[in-house]
Structure 1
Amino acid sequence: MKSAKVKIGIILGTLLVGWGVYFQPTPIDSHREEEPAVHKTDVIVNPENLHGSYTVLRIYDGDTLTVNMNGQDESIRFCGIDAPEMDQPGGEESRDYLRALIGSNPVYLGSIKRDRWGRIVSEVFVKTDTGFLLTNTYMIRQGYALNWERYSRNCQHASLYQVAEGEQRQTEITQGIPPWEWRRGAR
């Protein structure tokens, strides 16, 4: 009799464990579209005119961050891209994507210029195993920023912005009002 109860206990235990594994709730993240791999044109093996390694202090939105440069906080505006404003649809998603992309990694800056507000305008790179990821074009390709042609032609890797735009993932950001029009009041 005791062995029959043990066998029934084992069978019931196995069924309950199997039931729990089979009906495990699916994590929300598992329904997300798989993220495309980094495109070969987004990684540059030996970028020219690369300026130092800088600690990111703050990421304001999808195209602006603050770094510590020689003991001073400097605002960096990504060359040639425009991400949604924080009050614009997709603004928070763009910022959060850039935060996840950079993480706690230092950034490297390409050619440096200053805009009329005193911000540094530059291409922004993150070191990878195979070279340096040009985050400007990667943000375009992933659909979290737009190629701002008016200014991207002045960037060192201007031709890569057009390539990224041609392969851009379609998102709320790419289908909505461009940020440069949003700022002018086309809300």
Structure 2
Amino acid sequence: MERITKAGIQLLALGIVVATVVLTQLKNQSTKTSNTDQPASAINTVVRQDSITSLPVCDVKPGSIYDGDTIRVFCNGQEKKIRFACIDAPERKQEGGIESRDFLRTLLQRGGMKVRVDAVDTDRYGRTVAELWVDQGMGLELVQSKQASAGMVWGYEAYKSDCKSWEAIASTQADAQAQKVGIWASANPQPPWEWRKANK
């Protein structure tokens, strides 16, 4: 009887140790998953670098970031004016316009003033309409989605058919709206296309 009791106690102790180890590992995995500085909806904004390495790397022209959705770049020695696909930023004279521009400047500076350009169209002004990718040390991230996540731009729904990453942008914008960040902190934010019509 004494042997059975000792054996039972040893098995019970072993079971407790195993259970503790398993629970600790599960807790660590859960912590690693939740300790990300990006919302779950932004997962698609970070991609493996090898999936877009074929895109040209372009240098942002110094002093060319005039607003939140237009820049000039040098690609293979050629200067191009880029209109950001998928989004519309507040105009410079509009509420939030300067903040949107400054956010973009900071974002691109952190990426070494280099972007990967995924051209989707050419607009009526001859600008290259493109999705842009920047590497700030966490892998390549979609510039437009970063802007939407910070509440610095509107997703341009009228042109979403030309936008490969529309779902990621719409999702990050919804998060920004819910958190009332950037332009969404205003009680009545005015879309840029409406502001332009009213201020012709």
TM over 0.5: yes
Which residue matches 2:76?
70
Q: Is the 8 A contact 2:119 2:128 kept in 1?
A: no
Q: Is the 8 A contact 1:45 1:130 kept in 2?
A: no
Normalising by structure 1, report the TM-score.
0.73
1:116-150 Cα deviation digits (max 9, x unpaired): 11000010110243421101011011100111111
Distance 1:153 1:41, change over 3 A: same
Distance 1:178 1:49, change over 3 A: farther
Instruction: Tell me, in whole angstroms, the C-alpha distance in 2 between the residues paired with 1:71 and 1:163.
Output: 36
Q: Is the 8 A contact 1:50 1:109 kept in 2?
A: no
Q: What is the count of residue pairs matched by the alignment?
A: 152
Distance 1:69 1:63, change over 3 A: same
5 Å-filtered alignment, 1:1-150, equals 37-38=37-38, 39-46=42-49, 47-48=51-52, 50-57=54-61, 58-103=64-109, 104-150=112-158
Instruction: Tell me, in whole angstroms, the C-alpha distance in 2 between the residues paired with 1:156 and 1:129.
Output: 23
| Seq. identity, % | 34
Normalising by structure 2, report the TM-score.
0.69
1:47-97 Cα deviation digits (max 9, x unpaired): 458521111012121111110123232111111101100110111110001
Q: Unpaired runs of 5+ in structure 2?
A: 1-35
Q: Where is the helix percentage greater, Structure 1 or Structure 2? A: 2
Residue 40 (structure 1) shift: 2.3
Which residue matches 1:19?
none
Q: Is the 8 A contact 1:49 1:111 kept in 2?
A: no
